[in-house]
Amino acid sequence: MLEDLKMPTRMEVEEALLKSLFNHGGVIKEFGADEEIVEEIASDFNLNEQQRSAFLETIYKKENRLKRSSLLHRLLFRAADNLAKEKLVSRPTQTIQMTHKREWMLTENGYDKALKILGIPKVQKETLPIKSYEVEKIVKRLNEQSRPVNYDPFDHNKKTSKVSKETRLRNRGFRQAIIEAYDCKCAVCEMKIKSPDALQWEVEAAHIVPHSLNGKDDIWNGVALCHLHHWAFDVGWFTLKDDFKILASKQIENVPNNFGKIGNYDFIRQLSKETRVIALPKRKEIYPHQTAIQWHRENVFYYQL
């Protein structure tokens, strides 16, 4: 009987929680609110029915009553509490202030630890869509800035010599903010696709004024594009008008027929036919800024015949 009730140690539960957080994009709901997570962890440990349904009875002396609580919930909560003390996760009480949801969220250190447990190289942090408390704060700031009339898309203070931890966080914040704003779709072709492990979106966060020219990591200087349209935008095959309609290069008329084709689909000529407005975010406040797209039209777009 006691053998059957042997539960995983706190360390083991802590690791399982970090893995679970990673597998759920960096956030999980409070345990009381999400039985799915509790079930998932119970299955990870191969817990039997007795272990899953074990209760702890606590006597509340003050109120002179008995409180029954699930042993598994208690273990999960204690492990999460400890992870929060070690600053590897943020508590639901902290997270709610930012996201309005009561969730546990990985911190940057927790993210690193999860990668280590899972044997995933740390460089993948730049592209994996896992939320972290620190990056989420940047995303929130980017989304909440009020839209300036005269926006300067250049970062004049940027030190180009070395990539600091802060720059990397900012890059990830930019990427996450743009991809979320465009609902993980390319603004031109609206393609939405993930890697087979369901972790990575294909869509990219493109800078309008390129990063290499000190373009800012602001939501107004970005647009979500698939790999192909990102490339075509960066080399000047198309740009955007002030009303966010696509403007394609006249040079398209000069390329041989077999250029830019994907089977029967004519990727490059299709751009000239597009006269509609690109797929934009829900809120106008975070649309690309006209000063940034004007710069792109004048400096990147290849118009001539």
Q: Which residues bind Zn ion (CB under 5 A)?
A: 186, 188-189, 226, 229
CA atoms lying within 13 Å on the CB side of residue 18:
25
For residue 1, what are its two tokens?
């009987």
Count CB-CB contacts under 10 A for residue 159. Answer: 9
Query: Of the two residues 188 and 209, which places its CB atom closer to Zn ion in the complex?
Result: 188
Query: Of the two residues 71 and 189, which places its CB atom closer to Zn ion in the complex?
Result: 189
**In the bound complex, what is the minimum distance in angstroms from residue 208's beta carbon to Zn ion?**
16
Residue type, 181: A
Query: Of the two residues 267 and 302, which places its CB atom closer to Zn ion in the complex?
Result: 267
Query: Of the two residues 226 and 300, which places its CB atom closer to Zn ion in the complex?
Result: 226
Give the separation between CA 105 and CA 25, rounded to whole angstroms.
Answer: 9
Query: Of the two residues 19 and 192, which places its CB atom closer to Zn ion in the complex?
Result: 192
**In the bound complex, what is the minimum distance in angstroms from residue 184's beta carbon to Zn ion?**
12
Query: For strand 103-106 and strand 27-29, is the pairing parallel, antiparallel, or unpaired?
Result: antiparallel
Give the separation between CA 83 and CA 215, rounded to whole angstroms.
Answer: 37
3-state secondary structure 140-174: HHHHHCCCCCCCCCECCCCCCCCCCHHHHHHHHHH
| Phi then psi dihedrals of residue 216, to 5 deg | -70, 155
**In the bound complex, what is the minimum distance in angstroms from residue 268's beta carbon to Zn ion?**
12
Q: Are 189 and 226 in contact (CB under 8 A)?
A: yes
**In the bound complex, what is the minimum distance in angstroms from residue 187's beta carbon to Zn ion?**
8
Query: Of the two residues 117 and 189, which places its CB atom closer to Zn ion in the complex?
Result: 189
**In the bound complex, what is the minimum distance in angstroms from residue 73's beta carbon to Zn ion?**
45
Taking the mean position of all CA atoms in its chain, how far away is CA 7? 34
Query: Of the two residues 138 and 186, which places its CB atom closer to Zn ion in the complex?
Result: 186
**In the bound complex, what is the minimum distance in angstroms from residue 190's beta carbon to Zn ion?**
7
Strands (E), 79-136: 89-90, 103-106
Give the separation between CA 39 and CA 12, rounded to whole angstroms.
Answer: 16
Give the separation between CA 256 and CA 261, rounded to whole angstroms.
Answer: 10
Give the separation between CA 145 and CA 138, rounded to whole angstroms.
Answer: 11
Query: Of the two residues 113 and 296, which places its CB atom closer to Zn ion in the complex?
Result: 296
**In the bound complex, what is the minimum distance in angstroms from residue 238's beta carbon to Zn ion?**
11
Using DSSP, state whether 224 is helix, strand or coil: strand
**In the bound complex, what is the minimum distance in angstroms from residue 225's beta carbon to Zn ion?**
6
